[in-house]
Amino acid sequence: MTQQEKDELNKELCGLLWIEWWEEGTLGYHTNPDFTSEAGRVQLLKLMNEKDLLWKFVCSLPPNYGLFLYILEFMKDDNGAFAIAARDFLKAMEGK
């Protein structure tokens, strides 16, 4: 995944989670989250839990695959698999 693809994914997730995304060069520019990084995956889990979306997300995972193994694969993946799955889930929740 290129940096541009990561930025687009992170920006889209911020919008779906109602988090401010700061464009570079804007007044008060802050560092944006990177949900594809190790720390970002934990942050995404916490945000989804705070918004009561985590359990719904977990229940949406394929039932024929060991759930624990599935989540472990997400947590180990540095290519944005968890962020992509979360984005797709959140878009489906909004009907997009």
| H helix runs in the chain, sequence order | 3-16, 38-50, 54-59, 67-76, 81-94
**Structural domain spans, the chain:** 3-94
For residue 29, the model assigns a pLDDT of 67
Low pLDDT (below 50) residues in the chain: none
For residue 22, the model assigns a pLDDT of 87
* Whether 65 contacts 71, CB under 8 Å: no
Give 4-24 pLDDT, tens digit per residue. Answer: 999 999 999 999 999 999 887
- pTM to 2 decimal places: 0.81
